[in-house]
Amino acid sequence: MKHTKEPAHRGKTDKLDSLLANDNAVSVIVVLLGLLFGTLLIILVGKNPSGMYSAMLQTLTGLDIERGTWNARYIGEWLTASLPLILCGLSFGFAARTGLFNIGAEGQYIAGLTAAQFVALYFPPIPILHWVVALIAAAIAGALFGGLVGWLKARFEVSEVVATIMLNYIAFFLSRWATMQIPGSNTYKTPSFPATAMLTSNVLQSLTNDSRLNIGFWVTILCCVLYWFIIEKTKLGFELRATGYNKEAARCSGIKVTSRISISMIFAGIFAGLAGAIVALGSFSYGRVLAGLDNYGFNGIAAALVGNNTGLGTFLAGLLFGMLASAQPLMQSRQIPKEITWIISGLVVVLISLRAGAKLFLAWRAKNKVRMRMEIQTASGASSSEDSLNSGNGGQKHNG
């Protein structure tokens, strides 16, 4: 029997395929490519890319290499900017694990922000209880906006994309109208919040040199752990993931698909609503009359995609995008255009969205490999049969 020698490059190709099939590896590669393109753009505009990296380093560590100083406030502001991105990323990711595309995290965020502001202004100023009730109200408001989308999807097959886009603008204009009805409000802001409503943390502020880092940091950590536990370790999480993989198969297995879709959007709304409360009560001392969308919900989609819709991955991706946003003023002080960070973020999102194309390419490659192996086996079998036949004929001639 003849042994067919495999091509020498097949081992390298298999390694490349396994690398592209690893979502975590693809995310890291995409981020590195985004930074590489950003570096090339800075060089093209005639600037020194070291300014970008020194600004990023100062944001992450508080260390200013040029002046030889250290200030932990930069770390606190970086974490503060990352919190709503992480929570809105969890909102998108939770729905995505159930096969839904929640583009309405922005509306759910606004609903939570508005509810938190009203509780901050009208609830009795009782220490601790005040901000706890504000967080609960924000979670409920976000859950209502998310749950409505889930119910429409499960009951009437209404596209969650269309429903969430419409609700984004409903939440925005409803928030503007309702907030301006508060006595003492103008077209910009409301009266100041009482101190008991604020998410201020003296410990975190002292550690970060009086930054705005607040109790929302612990809320975000808790949400990431809750996300992981529900999705990965509970029966509900298994049913949500099964529904996301194949709704009909899940329904045939006895899973109540309709209720699982609604529950998924409720949890998604809770995460986004909490993001609104953390921004409202952690970064501002007054209620805002929104002049436009804050875009945390949309940027959270990028964090979820880069983080592969997992709790830890979304947390790390949110920190990445928060770092890029926080580094903008420092980059400007080093004569680097701040728009570079948005270009990097956009490139990362575009490249990560090509992951689906990479998976299609790998599937095509796998089919070709199977076909080639079958052809080789068929050819080997035919060759073996021919050799056996020839040897048999030779033996007959010798006997004769």
Q: List, for residues 128-148, the tens digit of each pLDDT value.
A: 999 999 999 999 999 999 999
Residue among 8, 7, 9 at smallest CA distance from 17: 9
**Average confidence (pLDDT) over 22-41:** 88
**Average confidence (pLDDT) over 15-33:** 76
Tallying the residues shown for the chain, one arrives at 400
d(CA 22, CA 19): 5
Query: Do 116 and 134 form a contact (C-beta atoms < 8 A)?
Result: yes
Beta bridge partners of 192: 286
Q: Which CATH class is domain 73-318?
A: mainly alpha
Share of the chain above pLDDT 70, in %: 87
Bigger pLDDT: 363 vs 51: 51
**Average confidence (pLDDT) over 120-133:** 97
**Average confidence (pLDDT) over 32-53:** 92
Checking if the pLDDT of 15 tops 70, the result is no
Phi-psi map region of 99: left, alpha, beta (phi>0 left; psi -120 to 50 alpha): left
Query: Do 189 and 286 form a contact (C-beta atoms < 8 A)?
Result: yes
d(CA 149, CA 269): 10
Residue 381: pLDDT band (50, 70, 90) is: low
**What torsion do the CA atoms of 329, 335, 338, 339 make, to the nearest 10 degrees?**
170
d(CA 268, CA 145): 10
Range from 105-114, 327-336, 373-382 carrying the lowest mean pLDDT: 373-382
Checking if the pLDDT of 397 tops 70, the result is no
Checking if the pLDDT of 383 tops 90, the result is no
pLDDT one-digit tens code per residue, 187-217: 999 999 999 999 999 999 999 999 999 999 9
Q: Is 288 helix (H, G, I), strand (E, B) or coil?
A: strand
d(CA 363, CA 368): 9
Q: Is 94 helix (H, G, I), strand (E, B) or coil?
A: helix
Q: Which long-range contacts (CB under 8 A, 24 or more apart) does 370-379 make?
A: 376/4, 379/4
Element (H, E) at 63: strand 63-64
| 84 token code pair | 């709503």
| 285 token code pair | 């001392």
**Block residue for tokens 């194949």:** 246
User: What is the reported pLDDT for 43?
Assistant: 94
User: What is the reported pLDDT for 351?
Assistant: 84
User: What is the reported pLDDT for 382?
Assistant: 61
CB burial of 359-398 (b: ≥16 within 10 Å; e: otherwise) equals eeeeeeeeeeeeeeeeeeeeeeeeeeeeeeeeeeeeeeee
Q: Which long-range contacts (CB under 8 A, 24 or more apart) does 151-156 make?
A: 151/262, 153/100, 153/261, 153/262, 153/265, 154/257, 154/258, 154/259, 154/261, 154/262, 155/258
DSSP letter for each residue of 127-161? TTHHHHHHHHHHHHHHHHHHHHHHHHHHHH---HH
Query: Do 273 and 280 form a contact (C-beta atoms < 8 A)?
Result: no
Element (H, E) at 189: strand 189-192
pLDDT one-digit tens code per residue, 165-189: 999 999 999 999 999 999 999 999 9
d(CA 97, CA 309): 7
User: What is the reported pLDDT for 369?
Assistant: 73
**Average confidence (pLDDT) over 357-386:** 70
Share of the chain above pLDDT 90, in %: 72
